[in-house]
């Protein structure tokens, strides 16, 4: 098999898994959210509602695609695509399992930079969507999106810097290797708890989910940047949100939960993929759990929390980590 | 300005609240699977209208007086009366409702028609709300509203012996207006 063919096949498989994952993540979220609110959730389409994502997809495909008057047509149509692509390409550098068979480009030595770059680009689609919609709610939503993403990208990046310091490499594959000296205590969530907490909080803001969903706050902004979108264009935004949720969960697993590592991965490499998936699903469940529990932040609190709390703590964490590495505490090289 | 201790305490309330939510997983969902399961309705619930009959002879109670139409605040009822004869008798008394239509979209289910009816002919009963795909189908005529004749009794119009049903049957003494 030529490397090109292999890469194409892997990419197709990955896109397929990501999109199926997205579809069933929406179902999982609706089911779990319903149970957390003492409801049942969707249970009509197919056995136990398992065909619900398919029904939703069909419905959205057959919806009339409305283009409101006064929109900037080109931007209006490109914006959903610009939102989905960063969410999907994030997967490229994530090591899904042990060995090359489960990795696309995980060995790229600028993996972390790539992740940060792609996360930074993701805001464009949303900002452009809101701006091109010719709608005040949408504009406000996209303004919030831009401000929120910029505010939370800094602590996000700084928390990863601490991880890079620990691993001594910016390659995601190396970061996973550095977390597996053979036992679970090697995971960076135990050696870098502060960075893990900051990263954990900022990815909620980055994916714009509750409690940081000010961008599409229903009660104030109708649907924020999504207001004027319907049909498949709406579905693309929806897809972007959920695929990104999976992607950042995978990143959290890679950076802090030891990626694919776990017992017996050296003997049975396929086990590593299983560990990875279990950890990602656990992260996704926490995403949903948080959405069910926490109310939305007030906007000024969101800003002051990002700039006055998370950012200084993240900076301090880097200094402390660097200091510990230099003086050579066990566990810190 | 709250103290640091208070702030840390308030931070601890976030996981506390989250675990409180998690407790719900152990509870049974309160959802009622509607078409299959239905919650019991009050026997006095004002659902869809029915035109009643006398149980002993199968004649229609409605005498076509149109008091219900007069009482209706939504103007949803239309009644047209015709004369009864002993050969073709629909109801006791002189007249019966040859047309009786209720527009179920206009109806507000207030039950004033029930109150206005002198013969207790129209009754709102606790059954499912009327539904339809077109506006036309939501205008319920007599065929939809009238009860079936009690078993063993003939449907209307009936052939009756002269003198037996000359006057309308008013079930209660009329309310004394001086009270």
Q: Is B68 left (phi over 0), alpha (psi -120 to 50) or beta?
A: alpha
> Model pTM?
0.77
Residue labelled with tokens 């063919």: A5
A290 touches chain B (CB under 8 A): yes
pLDDT attached to residue B176: 54
Indicate the SS3 state at residue B53: strand
Residue B73 has pLDDT above 90, yes or no: yes
Number of residues that this document lists for chain A: 333
**Is the distance from CB of A265 to CB of A272 less than 8 angstroms?**
yes
Sign of CA dihedral A12, A14, A15, A20: positive
CB contact under 8 A, B22 and A35: no
Structure tokens at B65: 């007086």
Q: Lowest-confidence range among A279-293, A306-320, B131-145, B164-178?
A: B164-178
Write b or e for each residue in A40-56: b if 16 or more Cβ atoms lie within 10 A of its Cβ, otherwise e: bbbeebeeebeebbeeb
The β-bridge relationship of strands B95-103 and B77-83 is antiparallel
Q: Closest approach of chain A CAs to the CA of B39, in angstroms?
A: 16
Mean pLDDT of B94-98: 90
Q: What is the mean pLDDT of chain B?
A: 85
Residue range B109-122, pLDDT digits in tens: 898 999 898 888 89
For residue A74, CA distances in Å to A81, A225, B139 come to 11, 16, 49
Nearest C-alpha in A relative to B36: A44
Tell me the pLDDT band of B126, cut-offs 50, 70 and 90: confident
pLDDT attached to residue A106: 64
Nearest to A38 among B14, B17, B24 (CB): B24
Percent of chain B with pLDDT over 90: 20
pLDDT attached to residue B128: 66
Give the contacts of A160 (CB within 8 A, at least 6 positions apart): A112, A115, A116, A195, A199, A255
pLDDT attached to residue A57: 86
**Is the distance from CB of A41 to CB of A30 less than 8 angstroms?**
yes
Residue B129 has pLDDT above 80, yes or no: no
**Is the distance from CB of B142 to CB of B51 less than 8 angstroms?**
yes
Which residues on chain B are in Cβ contact (under 8 Å) with A31? Answer: none
- Cβ neighbourhood burial of B176 (10 Å; 0-12, 13-18, 19+): exposed
Nearest C-alpha in A relative to B27: A38
pLDDT attached to residue A133: 84
Tell me the pLDDT band of B173, cut-offs 50, 70 and 90: low
Size of interface A-B (CB pairs under 8 A): 33
pLDDT attached to residue B171: 66
Which residues on chain B are in Cβ contact (under 8 Å) with A200? Answer: none
A34 touches chain B (CB under 8 A): yes
**Which residues of chain A have a pLDDT value below 50?**
none
Tell me the pLDDT band of B25, cut-offs 50, 70 and 90: confident
B2 touches chain A (CB under 8 A): no
- For residues B49 and B8, the model is more confident at B49
């Amino acid at each position: 098999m030529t490397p090109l063919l292999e890469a194409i096949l892997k990419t197709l498989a990955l896109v397929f898994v990501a999109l199926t994952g997205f579809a069933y993540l929406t179902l999982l979220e609706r089911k779990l959210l319903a149970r957390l609110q003492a409801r049942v959730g969707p249970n009509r389409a197919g056995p136990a509602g398992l065909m619900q994502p398919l029904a939703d997809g069909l419905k959205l495909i057959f919806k009339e695609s409305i283009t409101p008057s006064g929109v900037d047509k080109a931007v209006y149509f490109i914006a959903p695509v610009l939102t989905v692509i960063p969410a999907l390409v994030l997967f490229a550098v994530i090591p899904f399992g042990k060995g090359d068979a489960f990795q696309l480009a995980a060995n790229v030595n600028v993996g972390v930079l790539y992740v940060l770059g792609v996360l930074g680009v993701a805001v464009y689609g949303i900002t452009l969507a809101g701006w091109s919609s010719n709608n005040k709610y949408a504009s406000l939503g996209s303004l919030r999106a831009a401000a929120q993403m910029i505010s939370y990208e800094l602590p996000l990046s700084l928390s990863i810097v601490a991880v890079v310091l620990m691993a001594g490499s910016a390659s995601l594959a190396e970061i996973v290797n550095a977390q597996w000296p053979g036992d679970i205590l090697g995971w960076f969530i135990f050696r870098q708890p502060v960075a893990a907490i900051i990263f954990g909080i900022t990815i909620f803001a980055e994916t714009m989910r509750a409690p940081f969903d000010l961008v599409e706050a229903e009660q104030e902004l109708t649907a924020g940047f999504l207001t004027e979108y319907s049909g498949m264009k709406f579905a693309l935004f929806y897809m972007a949100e959920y695929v990104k949720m999976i992607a950042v969960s995978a990143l959290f697993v890679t950076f802090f939960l030891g990626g694919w590592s776990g017992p017996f991965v050296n003997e049975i490499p396929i086990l590593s993929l299983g560990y990875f998936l279990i950890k990602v699903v656990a992260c996704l469940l926490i995403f949903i759990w948080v959405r069910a529990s926490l109310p939305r932040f007030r906007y000024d609190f969101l800003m002051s929390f990002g700039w006055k709390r998370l950012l200084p703590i993240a900076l301090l964490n880097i200094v402390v980590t660097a200091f510990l590495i230099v003086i050579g505490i066990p566990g810190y090289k | 300005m709250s103290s640091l201790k208070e702030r840390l305490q308030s931070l601890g309330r976030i996981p506390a609240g989250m675990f409180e939510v998690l407790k719900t997983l152990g509870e049974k969902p309160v959802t009622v699977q509607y078409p299959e399961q239905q919650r019991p309705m009050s026997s006095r619930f004002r659902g869809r209208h029915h035109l009643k009959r006398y149980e002993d002879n199968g004649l229609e109670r409605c005498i076509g007086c149109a008091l219900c139409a007069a009482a209706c605040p939504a103007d949803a009822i239309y009644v047209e009366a015709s004369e009864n004869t002993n050969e073709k008798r629909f109801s006791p008394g002189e007249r019966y409702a040859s047309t009786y239509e209720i527009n179920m979209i206009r109806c507000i289910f207030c039950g004033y028609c029930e109150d206005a009816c002198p013969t207790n002919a129209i009754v709102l009963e606790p059954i499912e709300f009327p539904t339809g795909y077109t506006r036309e189908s939501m205008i319920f005529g007599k065929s939809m509203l009238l009860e079936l004749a009690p078993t063993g009794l003939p449907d209307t119009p009936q052939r009756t012996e002269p003198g037996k049903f000359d006057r309308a049957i008013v079930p209660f003494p009329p309310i004394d207006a001086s009270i």
